[in-house]
Amino acid sequence: MRYQVHNYEEAIQFLFERINYERASVGSYSTSDLKLNRMTALLERLGNPQTRIPAIHLAGTKGKGSTATMIANVLQAAGYRTGLFTSPHLHRFEERMVVDGVLPTELELVTLVQQLLPHLEEMDQLPGQMAPTYFEIATALAWMHFLQSNVDYAVLETGLGGRLDTTRLCSPLVTVITCISLDHTNLLGETVEEIAAEKAGILKPGVPLVSGVRDPAAREVIRSIAKQLAVPLTELETNFHIESSAVQFNPETGFTGTMELRTSDNAIVNLQPGLPGLHQAENAALAYQTCELLREQGFAIESEHIQTGINTVRCPLRIELVRSEPIVILDAAHNIASIAALIKTLELVPATNRTVIFASSRDKKTAEMLHELRRGFDRIILTAFQTNPRAIPLDELVPIAETIGFTDIGLAETPIEAWEMASASATSSDLICTTGSFFLAAEIREHLQKLSNANPPSADSHPASFFQKPL
């Protein structure tokens, strides 16, 4: 066999050398490249593990990762062995495929890759067919790991869209569409109707759908496709309702949320979502209703399991408070709707001066995101993340920021330099927020983690001056 890996480093290198649309430049690929025949063929070689693991399948412009994690947390609280597939990863590739919140070991990942290599080598040599891509391989590895770990259920987040996403080959018990707004328009469409049709590609005949879609045009598309497929549809603000929600902020403890949910059977439930942000009430409502549908299908899920799963969930880079003096928040928002939700939540944070560190990918609505940020920040530091070639260079970012109306603009070649610039002049009462890209937030988070590990807090130091939660 020509393909071989002997250790973790070689396995990771092999994966990262595959065709990777998460790192591809805009315009270098189209939906014609996103075909399911390669994935179907690869999974057939593996014995179709995706048909042997019942799934909960999620799509949406934003919120799908948070909602998926909540659902997985509920299933785990109910005693079910649960696999969770999300993307992209933050620090380690294995974060994409956790079982009961635990990553595969390095040895487990190496073994999985070794098991997959003979199939990839044969498929790579097939004439007239593109080789399996990075994301297709990642999805296959996740299903292999879940099957070998004897999970009861898998919770799967789509990578892009839904109709052509590799996760679409799963066997769902319930599907979820969190919301629809403009993102990845170069691939999914320029209108919310077109994007809704792509996201609705995860629907399967007769499989219930929980929808958090609010946009009227997108909602009509979802309803029409659901009707065609005889899909039972449960909609936020039609079948279940958020009666009230609130978020408070404390520099010592971070954000705390409360909400009152009226369920589809007209019961009133009080929740305290563990993830910060006013928008998390919607994600919590979707997670709750999804688990209610699973309970109707015979799952041994009690109300306390749902509350525990939603109230205790933690996800990095979701308005993550990592320091309190100055207040430092890391967020992975990378589209207009997510940035707007971030700004609304940060209105709760008292600060003397407010600085945002910003970078973006070429396929994003950068001007619109900066317009939202202008409402919430006095100063902006522009940079370009280093771990992905899709970053917009500074010479293109600057005129956009100036046109939007930013006057206090700092420039930094790298995210680390941007952090040093922001923190050098910050007082204890200031706010520094990083947003605009998952890759930007991840790079700064990793840098801050290294700083914390190199300078551990003393017994009498301020505990909130370091990472508030385990990384």
pLDDT at 460: 35
Question: Do residues 326 and 222 share a domain?
Answer: no
Is residue 171 one of the residues assigned to a domain? Answer: yes
The H helix count followed by the E strand count for the chain is 15, 16
Give me the sheet containing 408-411, strands edge to edge.
320-324, 327-330, 431-435, 354-358, 379-382, 408-411
390: confidence class by pLDDT, cuts 50, 70, 90: confident
pLDDT at 150 over 70: yes
Local structure of residue 166 (DSSP, 8 states)? G
pLDDT at 215 over 80: yes
Question: Do residues 448 and 337 share a domain?
Answer: yes
467 or 96: which carries more pLDDT confidence?
A: 96
The distance from CA 289 to its chain's CA centroid, rounded to whole angstroms, is 20
Which of 210, 236, 262 is the last residue before a domain boundary? 236
Interval 101-107 mean pLDDT? 97
Question: Between the CA of residue 69 and those of 198, 313, 426, what are the distances in Å?
Answer: 22, 7, 34
Which of 175, 207, 236 is the last residue before a domain boundary? 236
CATH number at residue 105: 3.40.1190.10
pLDDT at 382 over 60: yes
CATH number at residue 372: 3.90.190.20
pLDDT at 21: 60
pLDDT at 269 over 70: yes
CA distance 11 to 29: 25
Provide the mean pLDDT of the chain.
89
H-only helix segments in 78-176: 106-124, 134-148
Question: Do residues 191 and 332 share a domain?
Answer: no
Q: Which domain holds residue 415?
A: 320-465
112 or 337: which carries more pLDDT confidence?
A: 112
Question: Do residues 167 and 18 share a domain?
Answer: yes
Q: How many CA atoms does the CB half-sphere of 308 hold within 13 Å? A: 12
Which of 184, 205, 236 is the last residue before a domain boundary? 236
Residues 6+ apart with CB under 8 A from 291: 71, 74, 75, 299, 301, 305, 306, 309
pTM value is 0.88
pLDDT at 309: 96
| CA torsion angle 447 450 452 454 (round to 10) | -140
CA distance 357 to 61: 23
User: How many domains would you assign to the chain?
Assistant: 2
Question: Do residues 21 and 141 share a domain?
Answer: yes
Question: Do residues 16 and 116 share a domain?
Answer: yes
| CA torsion angle 269 234 157 392 (round to 10) | -100
Question: Do residues 71 and 181 share a domain?
Answer: yes
Question: Do residues 63 and 187 share a domain?
Answer: yes
pLDDT at 464 over 80: no
